[in-house]
């Protein structure tokens, strides 16, 4: 008969045998993050939220390496992956930037608000981090930049391209200017171009010139038995595109070693500058800024996509705020007793509805209506236009319907014109492309004049 071992003795023996293993596992276990509520006080040096960061290759620990850097510039340098260009154009552009420290200071000050987000998005996609410097070339990191070709925002999307990448453009907002939406669209397009050409320099040329133009240049060199890399195609490119990659290389070189060129880059903390909060109902832009304890200009710098004095939209609409101001916003909102929005919409049904008569009807001044709707002086509204007007008591608690905001348009003509429209102005409806200028993926940023050697320059400052 086999002796029975007491259960307690067997358990004790098992624990003793496993003790070293359990101790080793405990020593190497990751420390669990501390969970805090959204309204808890923010630390002076907040720990970045890296839970949403993902790498293209699971084996590569990009997230951990990225946050070992002291600032975002170091993080960008560590992810350089596009082959260098070294020619006279690069030297020319380095000299231009190096002799303009004030310009560098203004541009990097604007960039400090957005760079952490852009670099994080690039790392999530496994893309070269020097692409975060592309807005330096496109817009000087000015989300309100508008080119002569009507390219808008930090990444300079023209209207048709913006719609191709689901950037809404209606009477109330233009997502080509929005930080989150435009960055996502730009990186998606750049990756698509790289997949098309298998070369980042050609992808950048296509981003500026259009993929069709780059494809034609490649075929032309192939037919002539010539190489098809960027520098071999440069002679076939307009001046703007020929300088595009060298400009990025110049900025890349400066960021790599600013002291070498007598420049200093401001410290940009390697932590999120802003956070996104939900907008649960219509809210005046000035009220939102007030609740966040920001100036209107500071608020607009993070939310440049909102074109009117009221922020409309569905539950997907987000407001960006500096992390330390998000808590203030929620606290002040919980104590707010007034209306969040003072605006509604009105559709013009007759040419007899003048701005003066509308102002009287809605207890305001003609100038307020003109400013709220960007209506020039000495012009009259045309029937069918949908405009912003101050709320009256009967509509005090009603939000502007999303379909009204998306489909609203404003048309006007000169006050003394004989049937001719002064500006022919009509805001595009979301989801419709410009029929007069069809696009496949993207419209070329280089105008026809520029392609023939004429001067073309973006209004990026």
Say whether 431 sits in a helix, a strand or coil: coil
Domain residue extents for the chain: 62-261, 274-334, 344-414
The residues with which 344 forms a beta bridge, in sequence order, are 389
Question: Per CATH, the architecture of 62-261 is what?
Answer: Orthogonal Bundle (1.10)
Per-residue pLDDT of the chain (461 residues), as tens digits, is: 444 444 444 444 443 444 444 333 333 333 333 333 333 333 333 433 433 333 333 334 445 555 567 899 999 999 999 999 999 999 999 999 999 999 999 999 999 999 999 999 999 999 999 999 999 999 999 999 999 999 999 999 999 999 999 999 999 999 999 999 999 999 999 999 999 999 999 999 999 999 999 999 999 999 999 999 999 999 999 999 999 999 999 999 999 999 999 999 999 999 999 999 999 899 999 999 999 999 999 999 999 999 999 999 888 899 999 999 999 999 999 999 999 999 999 999 987 889 999 999 999 999 999 999 999 998 899 999 999 999 987 556 789 998 998 899 989 888 754 444 444 444 444 444 443 333 334 444 454 344 444 444 444 44
**Is-contact 170 408, C-beta < 8 A?**
yes
The span from the CA of 212 to the CA of 443, in Å, is 9
The residues with which 41 forms a beta bridge, in sequence order, are none
Confidence (pLDDT) at 396:
64
Q: State the catalytic residues.
A: 138
448-456: long-range pairs with CB below 8 Å, 24+: 450/238, 450/239, 450/240, 451/238, 452/238, 453/238, 453/239, 456/148, 456/238, 456/240
Place of tokens 């004030």: 102
**Is-contact 104 263, C-beta < 8 A?**
yes
Confidence (pLDDT) at 103:
97
Spatial neighbors of 366 by CB under 8 A, at least 6 apart, are 355, 356, 358, 359
Confidence (pLDDT) at 404:
92
Spatial neighbors of 119 by CB under 8 A, at least 6 apart, are 66, 72, 75, 76, 79, 129, 132
Looking only at Cα atoms, what is the longest distance across the chain?
116
For residue 188, give the nearest of 120, 112, 113, 127 by alpha carbon: 127
Q: What is the per-residue DSSP string for 359-422?
A: HHHTTS-HHHHHHHHTPPTTEEEPTT-EEEEE--GGGTTPPPPHHHHHH----EEETT-SS--S
Torsion angles phi and psi, residue 211, rounded to 5: -65, -30
Q: Which DSSP helix (H) or strand (E) runs through 319?
A: strand 318-322
Confidence (pLDDT) at 63:
52
Q: Which DSSP helix (H) or strand (E) runs through 275?
A: strand 274-278
């Amino acid at each position: 008969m086999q002796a029975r071992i007491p259960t307690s003795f067997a358990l004790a023996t098992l624990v003793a045998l496993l003790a070293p293993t359990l101790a080793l596992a405990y020593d190497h276990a990751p420390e669990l993050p501390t969970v805090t509520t959204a309204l808890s006080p923010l630390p002076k040096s907040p720990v970045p939220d890296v839970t949403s960061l993902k790498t293209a290759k699971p084996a590569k620990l990009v997230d951990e390496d990225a946050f070992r850097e002291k600032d975002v510039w170091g993080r960008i340098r560590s992810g350089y992956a596009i082959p260098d260009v070294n020619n006279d154009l690069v030297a020319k552009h380095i000299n231009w930037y190096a002799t303009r420290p004030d310009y560098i200071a203004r541009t990097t000050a604007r960039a400090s608000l957005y760079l952490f987000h852009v670099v994080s998005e690039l790392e999530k996609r496994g893309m070269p981090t020097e692409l975060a410097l592309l807005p330096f070339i496109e817009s000087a990191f000015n989300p309100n930049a508008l080119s002569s070709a009507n390219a808008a925002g930090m990444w300079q999307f023209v209207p048709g391209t913006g719609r191709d990448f689901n950037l809404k453009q209606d009477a109330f907002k233009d997502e080509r200017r929005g930080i989150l939406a435009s960055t996502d669209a730009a990186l998606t397009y750049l990756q698509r171009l790289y997949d098309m050409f298998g070369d980042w320099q050609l992808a950048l040329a296509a981003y500026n010139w259009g993929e069709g133009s780059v494809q034609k240049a490649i075929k032309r060199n192939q037919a002539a038995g010539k190489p098809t890399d960027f520098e071999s195609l440069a002679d076939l490119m307009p001046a703007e595109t020929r300088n595009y990659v060298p400009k990025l290389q110049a900025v890349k070189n400066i960021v790599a070693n600013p002291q070498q060129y007598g420049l200093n880059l401001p410290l940009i903390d390697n932590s999120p500058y802003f956070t996104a909060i939900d907008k649960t109902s219509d809210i005046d832009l000035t009220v939102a800024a007030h609740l966040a304890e920001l100036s209107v200009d500071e608020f607009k710098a993070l939310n440049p996509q909102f074109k009117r004095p009221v922020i409309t939209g569905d539950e997907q609409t987000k407001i960006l705020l500096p992390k330390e101001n998000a808590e203030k916003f929620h606290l002040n909102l919980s104590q707010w007793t007034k209306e969040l929005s003072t605006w509604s919409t009105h559709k013009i049904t007759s040419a007899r509805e003048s701005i003066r008569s509308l102002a009287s009807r809605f207890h305001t001044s003609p100038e307020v209506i003109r400013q709220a709707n960007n209506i020039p002086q000495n012009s009259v509204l045309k029937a069918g236009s949908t405009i912003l007007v101050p709320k009256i008591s009967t509509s005090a608690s009603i939000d502007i319907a999303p379909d009204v905001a998306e489909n609203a348009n404003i048309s006007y003509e000169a006050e003394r014109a004989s049937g001719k429209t002064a500006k022919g102005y009509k805001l595009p409806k979301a989801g419709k492309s410009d029929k007069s200028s069809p696009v496949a993926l993207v419209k070329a940023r280089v105008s026809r004049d520029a392609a023939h050697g004429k001067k073309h320059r973006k209004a990026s400052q």
